Copies of this chain bind each other. A is one copy, B any other.
Amino acid sequence: MFDCIAIIGVGLIGGSVALAAKKNRLCKEIVGSGRNESELQQAVQLGVIDRYEMDVGEAVKEADLILIAVPLSAFSDVFRQIKGKYRNGAIITDAGSAKASVVKDAQTVFGTLPAGFVPGHPIAGTEKSGVQAAFAELFESRCTIITPLASSASEAVTALTAFWQGCGASVVNMEVAHHDEVLAATSHLPHVLAYALVDSLAQMHERVEIFRYAAGGFRDFTRIASSSPMMWRDICMANKEAVLDVLEQFKKQLELVSQAIADNDANELEAIFCRAKKARDEHVVI
């Protein structure tokens, strides 16, 4: 489908896109780029990418699809490095977990947004990082949200949609602000809570060896606290307003629970727990 895909940032997500594209025969060649040459060498050795260029501008010059999968704080740099270097008609997309900040960075660098620019976000991942954690099936039966802009060419949107579908994902179109609100709730807030919980318990751990008695539920609940701290720092900063909004809502809810416990209000507590169980059992596919 594509002659050449350039992947900027060949980590868990970038590497998995490369493997999915190869597995599903969606391109002829994959060029990687990034800051860390030894990781790019490893990506070549693992067969994830065909070759790499340390110069991002060089990496994208032949590409008809450019996927940026770097931490959100590095997008400005990447945009500056590809500006004026990519082919006319190339599709530029990304895998950033927040979309308004990516669009803002692109606007600042490009001025007029390229017609091929279609932001995206595959809703998939694990708590692991790095190309060695990448696998071709990461996007299968998952959802990729794309947020086409007023400036996006419809051919670019169509081709990007087909690409993600080719990787096994279902594709949903969404407004940028809506994406950021939804992800703040379902992804960014849970990560913040998991980090805050584990850090809070780590301080208790100095007194009592609590982690020793953590059972399966705790392991699952805190798995996401093993995710990349830098990546999640960037996400919280980039999606600051939406994250603070859902944090406020959560804190109010937690206050209701605390108050019900403090007041021995068993009925209120059971009502909250029942609503939550019902919502999860109904809406979250296991």
Q: Given the complex, which residues of B lie within 8 Å of A159, measured CB to CB? A: none
**A197-B189, A204-B249, A272-B195 known; A266 vs B216 contact (CB < 8 Å):** no
Cα distance A35–B269 when bound, in Å?
Answer: 23
Q: Given the complex, which residues of B lie within 8 Å of A233, measured CB to CB? A: 266, 269-270, 273
Interface size on A, residues (CB 8 A): 92
Cα distance A145–B212 when bound, in Å?
Answer: 11
* Distance from A206 Cβ to chain B, minimum over Cβ atoms (Å): 10
Cα distance A284–B225 when bound, in Å?
Answer: 11
Instruction: Find out whether the CB atom of B220 lies under 8 angstroms from the CB atom of A273.
Output: no
Residues in chain A within 8 A of chain B (CB atoms): 123-127, 142-143, 145, 172, 178, 181-183, 185-187, 189-205, 208, 210-230, 232-233, 236-237, 240, 243-244, 246-247, 249-254, 256-258, 261-262, 264, 266, 269-270, 272-277, 279-281, 283-286
Instruction: Find out whether the CB atom of B243 lies under 8 angstroms from the CB atom of A205.
Output: no
How many copies of the polypeptide does the oligomer hold?
Answer: 2
Q: Given the complex, which residues of B lie within 8 Å of A254, measured CB to CB? A: 192-193, 196, 247, 251
Residue in A124, A210, A214, A281 with the greatest tally of chain B CB atoms within 10 Å: A214
Q: Given the complex, which residues of B lie within 8 Å of A124, measured CB to CB? A: 215-216
Other A-B contacts than A182-B210, A226-B277, 20 sampled, CB-CB below 8 A, are A125-B215, A172-B213, A186-B213, A190-B217, A192-B254, A195-B272, A195-B273, A196-B257, A198-B277, A198-B280, A200-B252, A211-B283, A211-B284, A217-B224, A219-B285, A220-B221, A230-B270, A236-B261, A247-B254, A251-B258
